[in-house]
Amino acid sequence: MSLTKITILYVDDELNNLVSLKAVFRIKYNVLTAISGEEAIKILKNNVVNVIITDQRMPNMTGVEFLESILDEYPDPTRILLTGYADMNAVVDAINKGKIFHYLTKPWKEDELEETITKAYEVYKRRIDEKELNYKLSLTNEQLEFLLRQKLLS
């Protein structure tokens, strides 16, 4: 991985959880926190986020609803759903609607969460690298088509 820190956005309506995760991971990662989906959307507008971790059960907007609402505008961050409840409907919705990478239960285990964040970042990085390569390929194709048209016209 590069020397820049992975940027994580953690969304949870419980302040203690936000403080705990930030305290554990602040040295290794750039940790942004939001107490609601609405606040998280504001943070996304001003920051490049690599990994999003969200609690499922929150007032006003569930974690799945939050992930689904940002999918079009912020498709790149890898998504992790974290919940204290064994709600299979939430898991299925998260996979199908929120495009999550991984599902973890609360209370989270530090080593398991760290390993999941690392793998999630690898997925994020591959996705970004692939987009960049596709863009370069597209430019190269346009240049070749231009040259071919020039040759055909002359």
What's the mean pLDDT when you consider all of the chain?
88
Question: What's the whole-number mean pLDDT along residues 130-134?
Answer: 92
Confidence of residue 150 (pLDDT cuts 50, 70, 90): confident
The whole model's pTM is what? Answer: 0.83
User: Could you give the CA distance from residue 131 to residue 133 in angstroms, rounded to a whole number?
Assistant: 5
Q: Model confidence over 72-126: pLDDT tens digits?
A: 999 999 999 988 766 666 666 666 666 788 888 888 899 999 999 999 999 999 9
Domains annotated on the chain, with CATH: 7-129 (3.40.50.2300)
Q: By C-alpha distance, which of 78, 61, 75 is closest to 12?
A: 61
